Amino acid sequence: MGISSSLSSAPPSSSFCMHAVILLGWFGLLLTSVVSGNNETDRLALLEFKAKIIHDPLSVQNNRFSGTIPPLMYNLSSLLTFSVSGNQIQGSLPFDIDITLPNIKVFIFADNQFTGSIPVSISNATNLDTFQMGINKLSGKVPSLEKLNRLTFLSLFLNHLGNNNKISENIPAEIGNLINLEDLRTWNNKLSGNIPFEIGILHKLQYLDLSQNKFSGNIPSSLGNLTALTILKLGNNNLQGGIPLNLGQCQNLLRLYLNNNNLSGTIPSEVIALSFSLITLDLMANQFTGALPIEVGNLKNLEQLDISENIMFGTIPTTLGSCVKLEFLAMRRNFFQGVIPLSLKSLKGIEVLDLSNNNLSGNIPKFLEFFYLQILNLSYNQFEGEVPTEGVF
């Protein structure tokens, strides 16, 4: 059955359910290039379809559609929601998307195979609330987006942004204009330069993920202004310097990832004690020195702590035993010394314990026999005495 007959045989309806049924039957045919542009009947049917969905969401996400999106689909000028995520659609975004979709609020094209750059004109789509283009093959520069002050969710992760065969691009300072932004994810691109200080203006930001890029320079102290922040991921970059003290103002942080950078200095006690609700603290593979602050014991909800592969020394603080929800503790490849404190016997839920490649000494505590450990690594230390024989041993 052709497009024209499938549309004309359907009873008239203004409900989204009917439009979705029409869309799924029709859109799959479009993407296999049934419409050649020479069939006037099909053209009229498409115009009829356009009229039917004028104010409804257009969504075909999580299917197996492939091919390209016909130009007509970008001309639904009253469309508010356009979602085709989770398919295998190719092609590039139109350069005049702000003109063709002037009222668009939700634009979700994530998890496809789109190429090319993000059109500069997207900055003029001032009604945009959600813009998700993650998991595609986009490259080039990130537009300023400076006029999108209604934007709350911006997702560009797992692309090739910044890879323009010239100098890698950075995040424009105009990002500070997105005053309603709550979620910003640009991880796994090739973005470089400094993290814009202006991000600290985004007081509504709750989720910030800039990991797996090529950012350098210091962590901007302005991030301490993001008091609504719950997730901060800056790992796998080339960041330098210390952890800003005022990051301790982010009292709602649940997860903090600064791993795999070139950060140095001591770990500030203000940051370690920044939130009773902190669940994950990952500082591995940096150049931190000094002792692990005793304030770590204040993190009563901590489940994962990784300070491996640094230059830290001193003893394991006894206060670590207060983190009774710990499931993952890794301190390998440092210079910690002394014994494993008895206070750690309270960590009854721990599943991974890696203290290898340090200068720890004394006996291996027998209380480890009673833990339900999946991984225990105490190698390359200076332990002595009898090795326990029960449990994980």
Share of the chain above pLDDT 90, in %: 66
Cβ neighbours of residue 218 closer than 8 Å, sequence gap 6 or more = 194, 239, 240, 241, 242, 244
**What is the band of 137 on the pLDDT scale with cuts at 50, 70, 90?**
very high
Beta partners for residue 289, in sequence order: 266, 311
Last residue of a domain, one of 241, 273, 294: 241
DSSP state of 360: E
Instruction: Judge if 40 and 162 occupy the same domain.
Output: no
Instruction: Judge if 50 and 163 occupy the same domain.
Output: no
* Helix (H) or strand (E) run with residue 266 in it: strand 262-266
254 occurs within a structural domain: no
**Contact between 130 and 156 (Cβ < 8 Å):** no
246 occurs within a structural domain: no
Measuring CA to CA, how many Å separate 375 from each of 139, 154, 352? Answer: 41, 38, 5
**Contact between 283 and 258 (Cβ < 8 Å):** yes
Last residue of a domain, one of 241, 269, 296: 241
Nearest to 53 by CA among 80, 30, 31, 93: 80
Query: What values do phi and psi take at 240, rounded to 5?
Result: -130, 180
pLDDT tens-digit series, residues 164-189? 533 347 888 999 999 999 999 999 99
pLDDT at 146: 87
Instruction: Judge if 172 and 211 occupy the same domain.
Output: yes
Q: Is the pLDDT of residue 133 over 90?
A: yes
pLDDT tens-digit series, residues 275-329? 678 999 999 999 999 999 999 999 999 999 999 999 999 999 999 999 999 999 9
User: What CATH number does the domain containing 346 carry?
Assistant: 3.80.10.10
**Contact between 14 and 50 (Cβ < 8 Å):** no
Domain containing 137 equals 57-241
Q: Is the pLDDT of residue 39 over 70?
A: no
Q: Is the pLDDT of residue 4 over 60?
A: no
Instruction: Judge if 181 and 265 occupy the same domain.
Output: no
248 occurs within a structural domain: no
252 occurs within a structural domain: no
Q: Is the pLDDT of residue 236 over 60?
A: yes
**What is the band of 274 on the pLDDT scale with cuts at 50, 70, 90?**
low
- Select, from the ranges 57-71, 87-101, 202-216, the one with the highest average predicted confidence (pLDDT): 202-216
**What is the band of 391 on the pLDDT scale with cuts at 50, 70, 90?**
confident
Instruction: Judge if 63 and 210 occupy the same domain.
Output: yes
pTM for the structure as a whole = 0.83
Instruction: Judge if 175 and 68 occupy the same domain.
Output: yes
**What is the band of 163 on the pLDDT scale with cuts at 50, 70, 90?**
low
What rounded mean pLDDT belongs to the chain? 84
The residue ranking higher by pLDDT, 63 or 73, is 73
**Contact between 104 and 119 (Cβ < 8 Å):** no
- Give how many domains the chain has, as a whole number: 3
Instruction: Indicate left, alpha or beta for 264 from its phi (over 0: left) and psi (-120 to 50: alpha).
Output: beta
**What is the band of 72 on the pLDDT scale with cuts at 50, 70, 90?**
confident
**Contact between 248 and 272 (Cβ < 8 Å):** no
